[in-house]
């Protein structure tokens, strides 16, 4: 088993699936990253306004706005969050370049600007683009990450 990276970016889908299914691989990932479960490790989870907006939007669509807000509050409480600001102009430039799928440009920049060591997602299209086009992250699908760490 490899040691955990110090800086991790989790895509929106990881948070949503973890909250919807307590037995999911995504929930296992969040459990490992919780501050109270690993107080000796300094594992930071990277957030930005773009990620927060996506969590709230998807959570509201799948459940309701109170559920989504509660999820976000629990994440802030349970994880060691590094919040960064991502400029809208930078998001647009990445989207226009066409390297990363347009809908994922903001989350990509969130991870890139904070120099996240690992990017975890269930979005195969995004993971493939990160690995093949940018080679900037140790990018993993959630099942692979859970087995590895």
* pLDDT attached to residue 102: 79
d(CA 128, CA 86): 23
Give percent above pLDDT 90 in the chain: 40
Question: 121: exposed, middle or buried (C-beta count within 10 Å: 0-12, 13-18, 19+)?
Answer: buried
Of residues 82 and 104, the one with the higher pLDDT is 82
d(Cα 141, Cα 119) in Å, to the nearest integer?
9
Residues 29 and 120: beta-carbon distance below 8 Å: yes
Q: Where are the alpha helices (DSSP H) in the chain?
A: 12-20, 25-33, 49-62, 65-78, 88-97, 105-113, 124-129, 142-148
The confidence score (pLDDT) of residue 120 equals 86
- Domains of the chain listed by start with CATH number: 7-148 (3.40.50.1010)
Tell me what the mean pLDDT of segment 105-125 comes to. 82
The Cα–Cα gap between 37 and 51 comes to 24
Residues 33, 145: Cα–Cα separation, whole Å: 12
Residue 1 has pLDDT above 60, yes or no: no
Higher pLDDT, 142 or 63: 63
Q: What is the pLDDT of residues 2-52, one digit of tens each?
A: 677 888 999 999 999 999 999 998 999 898 888 777 666 778 999 999 999
Tell me what the pLDDT averaged over the chain comes to: 83
pLDDT reading at 146 higher than 90 = no
Confidence of residue 130 (pLDDT cuts 50, 70, 90): low
């Amino acid at each position: 088993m490899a040691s955990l990276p110090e800086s991790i970016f989790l895509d929106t889908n990881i948070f949503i699936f973890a909250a919807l299914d307590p037995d999911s691989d995504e929930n296992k990932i969040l459990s490992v990253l919780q501050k109270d479960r690993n107080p000796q490790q300094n594992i930071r989870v990277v957030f930005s306004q773009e990620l927060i907006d996506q969590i709230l939007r998807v959570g509201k669509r799948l459940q309701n706005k109170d559920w989504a807000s509660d999820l976000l509050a629990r994440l802030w409480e349970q994880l060691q969050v590094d919040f960064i600001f991502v400029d809208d102009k930078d998001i647009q430039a990445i989207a226009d370049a066409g390297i990363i799928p347009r809908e994922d440009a903001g989350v990509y920049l969130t991870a890139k600007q904070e120099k996240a060591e690992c990017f975890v997602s269930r979005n195969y299209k995004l993971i493939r683009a990160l690995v093949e086009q940018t080679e900037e992250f140790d990018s993993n699908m959630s099942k692979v990450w859970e087995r590895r760490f």
